[in-house]
């Protein structure tokens, strides 16, 4: 296979594309990657393991073809609360009428239906809400006991078999991982995915079992989709490796006007911790069927970029839509245009991210200051675990970051990190080797040419985790550029 040179993106925010029937073909995956997708999401809620395995292998083949590490996020389904069945497959709940959810397994009608989740009985209280079918039906609890929950229908309508139930006003005492999730997680780890998306997170403890089952492999992304999770956001951010703002489910359980400020709150909390944050769901929803987005959708994507999100995500637009390549292309264009705005850097730095009182944080902050003061082309970061790259990205420097690491796993994981262009390369053993490799890689990856200055950030002794203590500014000479071009000519 001929390895194709792939230059860094013309933007720092990353694009995560969900793979599904419309995009799992290897040729379409290639087109999505070339159009701007930096990472791919495999939705474990749909499809068989055999199909997901083929998708993951196709992405890894793409990675080899373009010699660029590509992050893969496996998104777990999580527990789903659902009603039972109806005599005729459906029924109509009368607006302002009474409706009962009970433990009787017999098919339901317009007055009642089974709720096959015993943990909810005795939990709910008068005045709390039950939302059915993504909030299309809204019930308010009148009375609840161990056998039945009597509700008033604030918003009625047609209800059919096994529609989903959301309980926004109570912490539901069920674990975030179902048996299906455990099997899916084991499969994802066997396949070597880079990130696990954990659904139905309500409390910090929900992350513990997933961590244990992952066994130190990959990164754990907590999806914030429950109001209960927002209440304990700081703890959840601390215990996770990344955060996803899952606006679809948040929008069901909260009033629509509550979601935008919460999105900003979650993005800010993640950025303060130096962990990647993904803004997801319905970003270009109309492009499922239309080749062009609405102006409101364009503004929504742009606002997420202005807020400083690390990643913006496409869901059904690329998984099942009619225009997957066009959706990625539009998102790429929006992000590039925003980042060209003279006010952009000020906007993403509006959030004060003071460095911790550590040498590594102080040097990462200095990278941003030097890049603002001196004409710097790129920051080269030598890292084993990726922690140094996260510290630099948290500062939102004005120039790209070339992440050099001996670990392919690390190179893939930083695919969700703002401004990072990762390269898996052999480890370094000396200061001189670090400088030479940083220059060579910057030339090779289009992040420098003769006369350009680079910042090199690393730790001495080399290969020691958490030892970031060295910052050096270097200049690429014309001779180095000439030697590199001769080297490339010989390779051809």
Active site residues: 41, 82, 223, 281
The alpha carbon dihedral of 24, 29, 33, 38 has a sign of positive
**CB-based contacts of 422, cutoff 8 Å, min separation 6:** 69, 389, 403, 405, 410, 411, 412, 414, 415
Task: Yes or no: say if 197 and 244 are a contact pair by the CB < 8 Å rule.
Answer: yes
Q: What is the dihedral of CA 40, 26, 69, 191, to 10 degrees?
A: 70
**CB-based contacts of 269, cutoff 8 Å, min separation 6:** 233, 234, 237, 243
**CB-based contacts of 79, cutoff 8 Å, min separation 6:** 174, 175, 176, 178, 200
CA distance 398 to 359: 21
CA distance 429 to 125: 63
Burial of 263 (0-12, 13-18, 19+ CB in 10 A): buried
- Residue/partner pairs of 247-252 with CB below 8 Å, 24 or more apart: 247/279, 247/280, 247/281, 247/282, 248/280, 248/281, 248/282, 248/315, 249/166, 249/225, 250/224, 250/225, 250/226, 251/281, 252/131, 252/134, 252/135, 252/166, 252/168
C-alpha distance from residue 70 to each of 57, 110, 222, 305, 358 (Å): 12, 50, 20, 21, 31
């Amino acid at each position: 296979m001929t390895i194709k040179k792939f230059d860094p993106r013309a933007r720092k925010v990353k694009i995560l594309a969900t793979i599904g029937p419309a995009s799992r073909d290897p040729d379409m995956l290639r087109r999505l990657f070339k159009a701007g997708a930096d990472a791919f999401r495999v939705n474990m809620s749909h499809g068989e393991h055999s199909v997901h395995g083929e998708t993951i292998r196709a992405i890894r083949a793409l990675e080899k073809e373009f010699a660029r590490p590509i992050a893969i996020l496996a998104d777990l389904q999580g527990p789903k609360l659902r009603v039972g069945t109806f005599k005729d497959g459906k029924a109509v709940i009368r607006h302002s009428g009474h409706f009962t959810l009970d433990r009787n397994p017999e098919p339901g009608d317009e007055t009642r239906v089974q709720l096959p989740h015993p943990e909810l009985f005795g939990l709910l209280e008068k005045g709390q809400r039950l939302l059915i079918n993504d909030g299309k039906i809204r019930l308010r609890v009148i009375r609840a006991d161990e056998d039945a929950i009597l509700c008033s229908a604030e918003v009625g309508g047609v209800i059919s078999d096994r529609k989903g139930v959301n309980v926004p006003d109570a912490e539901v005492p069920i674990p975030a991982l179902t048996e299906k999730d455990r099997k899916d997680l084991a499969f994802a780890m066997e396949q070597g995915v880079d990130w696990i998306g954990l659904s139905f997170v309500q409390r910090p403890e929900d992350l513990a079992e997933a961590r244990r089952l992952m066994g130190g492999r990959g990164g754990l992304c907590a999806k914030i989709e429950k109001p209960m999770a927002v209440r304990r956001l700081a703890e959840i951010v601390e215990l996770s490796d990344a955060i996803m703002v899952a606006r679809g489910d948040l929008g069901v359980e909260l009033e629509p006007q509550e979601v935008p400020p919460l999105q900003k709150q979650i993005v800010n909390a993640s950025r303060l911790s130096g962990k990647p944050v993904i803004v997801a769901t319905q970003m270009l929803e109309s492009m499922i069927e239309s080749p062009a987005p609405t102006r409101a959708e364009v503004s929504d994507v742009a606002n997420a970029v202005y807020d400083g999100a690390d990643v913006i995500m496409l869901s059904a637009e690329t998984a099942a839509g009619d225009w997957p390549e066009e959706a990625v292309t539009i998102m790429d264009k929006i992000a590039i245009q925003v980042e060209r705005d003279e006010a952009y850097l000020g906007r993403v730095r509006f959030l004060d991210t003071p460095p911790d009182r550590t040498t590594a944080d102080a040097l990462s902050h200095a990278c941003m200051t030097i890049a603002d003061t001196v004409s710097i082309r790129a920051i080269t970061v030598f890292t084993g675990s990726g922690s140094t790259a996260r510290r630099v990205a948290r500062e939102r420097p004005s120039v790209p970051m070339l992440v050099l690491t001996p670990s392919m796993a690390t190179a893939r994981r930083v695919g969700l990190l703002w401004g990072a262009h990762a390269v898996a390369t052999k480890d370094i053993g000396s200061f001189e080797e670090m400088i030479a490799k940083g220059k060579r890689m910057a030339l090779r990856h289009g992040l420098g040419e003769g006369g350009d200055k680079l910042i090199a950030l690393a730790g001495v002794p080399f290969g020691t985790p958490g030892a970031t203590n060295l910052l050096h500014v270097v200049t690429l000479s014309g001779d180095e550029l000439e030697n590199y071009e001769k080297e490339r000519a010989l390779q051809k």
